[in-house]
């Protein structure tokens, strides 16, 4: 039986817990969130893997516990500062870490596809990224939009423009636009626009269940790996990057 400690008991934490309840060989041994057990140090049960869908403020609490007890981590929280991303990279030197801004199969494949399209089109087409999420989301742009941005411009050759207002004649840039409304689970479009033709790749999440399923897959993968930083390409495509 795989013992999972869930960090974060909001919308995603509850989805992961529900999915675990339906699954025979996994159990949820702890739930860590401000309204429950407050830190991993207070957990008495044996933990095999940590799944984190919470808030960037929890990162060091999770990381130090994982290092001390040698426990793999699935990090799904988004909205980290650069120093926190550096901490995640360092942490992966001690324990297996699966870190992804989006745990869905569709977005994992989309990231590959837009990277190839950008290689073919970027010299002739403008690129824009548009993301839409529910009105409770804390961070903008979404972690997934940042991941797509990195896929289309890995060498940061383009300046990044977050929304536009006023005098904003387009230069060598990629625009990133965040829409917040209703209870939309997540929609991401990468738009390639040339003279008289456009190509759009859109992923729409119709529920949050896809992220919970992906995170559980990632947890199963993490417990089989040596220390290192892994993403959903590793999890879904058998170690291939």
Ligand X SMILES: NC(=O)c1ccc[n+]([C@@H]2O[C@H](COP(=O)([O-])OP(=O)(O)OC[C@H]3O[C@@H](n4cnc5c(N)ncnc54)[C@H](OP(=O)(O)O)[C@@H]3O)[C@@H](O)[C@H]2O)c1
Residues with active-site annotation = 133, 137
Instruction: For strands 186-194 and 2-7, give the pairing.
Output: unpaired
Q: Find out whether 81 and 102 touch, Cβ atoms under 8 Å.
A: no
Nearer to ligand X, 62 or 130 (CB): 62
Sign of CA dihedral 59, 61, 62, 64: positive
Task: Choose, by CB under 6 A, the member of 4, 5, 6, 12 that binds ligand X.
Answer: 12
First and final CA of the chain: distance in angstroms? Answer: 29
Nearer to ligand X, 79 or 227 (CB): 79
Scanning 62-70, 83-91, 97-105, 194-202 for contacts with ligand X by CB under 6 A, the matching segment is 97-105
Q: Find out whether 52 and 58 touch, Cβ atoms under 8 Å.
A: yes
Angle at 69 between CA 68 and CA 72, to 5 degrees: 110
Size of the site for ligand X (CB under 6 A): 24
Task: Choose, by CB under 6 A, the member of 6, 20, 29, 58 that binds ligand X.
Answer: 58
Nearer to ligand X, 9 or 158 (CB): 9
Task: Kindly state whether residue 54 participates in binding ligand X, applying the rule CB under 6 A.
Answer: yes
Task: Kindly state whether residue 111 participates in binding ligand X, applying the rule CB under 6 A.
Answer: no
Here the tokens at position 95 are 């324990």
Q: In angstroms, what is the minimal distance from the CB of 59 to ligand X? A: 10
Non-local (6+) Cβ contacts of 213 within 8 A are 19, 103
The residue whose Cβ lies closest to ligand X is: 10
Q: At what angle do helices 209-222 and 11-21 cross, to 10 degrees?
A: 70
Nearer to ligand X, 57 or 119 (CB): 57
Between CA 237 and CA 217 the distance in angstroms is: 12
Task: Kindly state whether residue 209 participates in binding ligand X, applying the rule CB under 6 A.
Answer: no
Task: Choose, by CB under 6 A, the member of 51, 95, 102, 141 that binds ligand X.
Answer: 102
DSSP H stretches of helix in the chain: 11-21, 59-69, 82-91, 105-121, 143-152, 209-222, 232-236
Nearer to ligand X, 62 or 192 (CB): 62
Task: Kindly state whether residue 108 participates in binding ligand X, applying the rule CB under 6 A.
Answer: no
Q: In angstroms, what is the minimal distance from the CB of 144 to ligand X? A: 7
Q: Under the rule (CB under 6 A), what is the footprint of ligand X? A: 8-13, 33-35, 53-55, 57-58, 76-79, 100-103, 208, 211
């Amino acid at each position: 039986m795989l013992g999972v400690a869930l960090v974060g008991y909001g919308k995603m934490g509850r989805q992961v817990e529900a999915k675990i309840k339906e699954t025979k060989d996994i159990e949820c041994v702890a739930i860590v969130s401000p309204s429950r057990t407050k830190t991993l140090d207070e957990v008495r049960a044996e933990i095999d893997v940590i799944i984190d869908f919470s808030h960037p403020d929890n990162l060091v609490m999770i990381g130090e516990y994982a290092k001390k007890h040698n426990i793999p981590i699935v990090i799904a929280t988004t909205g980290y500062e650069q120093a926190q991303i550096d901490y995640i990279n360092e942490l992966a030197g001690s324990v297996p870490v699966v870190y992804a801004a989006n745990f869905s199969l569709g977005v994992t494949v989309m990231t590959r596809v837009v990277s190839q399209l950008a290689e073919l089109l970027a010299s002739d087409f403008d690129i824009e990224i548009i993301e839409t999420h529910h009105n409770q989301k804390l961070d903008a742009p979404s972690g997934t939009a940042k991941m797509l941005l990195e896929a289309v411009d890995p060498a940061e050759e383009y300046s990044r423009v977050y929304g536009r207002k006023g005098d904003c004649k387009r230069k060598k840039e990629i625009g990133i636009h965040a829409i917040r409304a209703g209870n939309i689970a997540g929609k991401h479009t990468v738009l390639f626009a040339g003279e008289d033709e456009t190509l759009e790749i859109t992923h729409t999440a119709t529920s949050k269940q896809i992220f919970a399923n992906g995170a559980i897959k990632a947890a199963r993968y993490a417990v089989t790996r040596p220390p290192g930083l892994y993403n959903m390409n590793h999890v879904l495509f058998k170690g291939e990057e």
